[in-house]
Structure 1
Amino acid sequence: MTCINRRDIGLLVLRIGTGAVLAAHGSQKLFGWFGGGGLDATAAGMEHMGFKPGRHSAAAAGLGEAGGGALLALGLATPVAGAAAAGAMAGAVAVHAPAGFFAQGGGFEYPAFLGFTAAVIGLTGPGRYSLDRATCHRFDQPWTVAVAFTGSALATAAVVSRRTRVLAEAKTAADNGADPEGQNA
């Protein structure tokens, strides 16, 4: 007789809940589902926030959230899913950080919580009730954890650093009276 493990049930519930929230947010960005703007509107928003090129940034954020979230919920390729979602949320944290911590004031609390949760699931593993277990952990190997989180951290650092430079250049141009978009006001 197999004993039901509370930790595995807890991981299942946490994976499904976190994955569903992330997948829904990514679907808003990619497809306009659940009241989202879709890829074109998200790309314009990303450009406005300093992520250039906007379309690539929108697709990457949407895929990190929707793809990472769906894979987390399924418990498939869990390290990659957790790293992708955590990287996407780190980009969101960079956008919200100037508003402080609490979400109520527009701060980074919510994306940070989702990112940390996705990262912890990616590091901990999916538990017994997962597709990773059903596939004998083919996509959930120790080396996968290292590669996924290192790759996500490097990509996120590059994207956030580029955004910081773009915003600094726009501020300098505005301070000098230039139009950073090349348009007359």
Structure 2
Amino acid sequence: MRTLGWALRLLFHTRGNTMTSLHRKDLGLLALRTAVGGVLFAHGAQKLFGWFGGGGLEGTAQAMEQMGFEPGDRNALAAGLGEAGGGALLAAGLATPVAGSVVAGTMAGAIAVHYPAGFFAHGGGYEYPALLGACGLALAVSGPGCYSVDAASGHALGRPWMGVLAFAASALGAVAVVSRRQDVVRRREARAADEAAGENGTGLS
């Protein structure tokens, strides 16, 4: 009990104690990293391996094709790697600026898909990917804290410029993927309209 009481005082008593305040900040970053990273890894594992009731690469590729992401297999692999890889790196606190930026870029693509449905998740909106993307970007900016692989390795893979480059590459990739999807959706809609017009013309004749 004495040990527990000492630990609680160390965690929550900050008056005049800068080190304790920093300790709490690092614990908060650790909790945020593991929570967000774990959720992202689980979603990526659904896409890649079919874990946790997911469709695996084949099922995810089919779903991607239906949504207009062609080719479906490549987009499924990229989405799965972005979520699982980025989530695992965030949880470990390894290459955090890069991992957070990749997560933000991946979620930007998901936001674009859900955007027409509005904001709130219960209506199919982009609320959830926006939250995950914001968390990834925040961790990329703040850093992982001292309880991380980056801190233990002297931030060899956690340089700020790495995060900037990763974010730029992820953002450009997301824009390219979403633009291609919009083109595919427009072509499908035009083809469906032509087929409907042809059927109507046949019926009239």
Task: Report whether the alignment pairs 1:67 with 2:72.
Answer: no
Counterpart Cα distance in 2 of 1:170 and 1:120: 38
Q: 1:134 maps to what in 2?
A: 152
1:83: Cα distance to partner?
A: 1.4
Larger radius of gyration: 2
Aligned Cα RMSD in Å?
Answer: 1.3
2:175 alignment partner AA: A
- Percent identical among aligned pairs is 60
Q: 1:158 maps to what in 2?
A: 176
Large movers: runs of 4+ above 3 Å: none
Task: Report whether the alignment pairs 1:27 with 2:45.
Answer: yes
Q: 1:9-158 to 2 correspondence within 5 Å?
A: 9-158=27-176
Q: Which runs of 5+ in 2 are unaligned?
A: 1-17, 197-205
Q: Is the 8 A contact 2:111 2:129 kept in 1?
A: yes
Q: Is the 8 A contact 2:106 2:174 kept in 1?
A: yes
Q: 2:19 maps to what in 1?
A: 3
Counterpart Cα distance in 2 of 1:90 and 1:141: 23
Counterpart Cα distance in 2 of 1:94 and 1:142: 27
Once the two structures are superposed, residues 135-176 of structure 1 have per-residue CA deviations (whole angstroms, 9 ceiling, x without a partner) of: 100001121021111111111111111111111111111112
Q: Which runs of 5+ in 1 are unaligned?
A: 179-185
1:34 alignment partner AA: F
TM-score by length of 1: 0.92
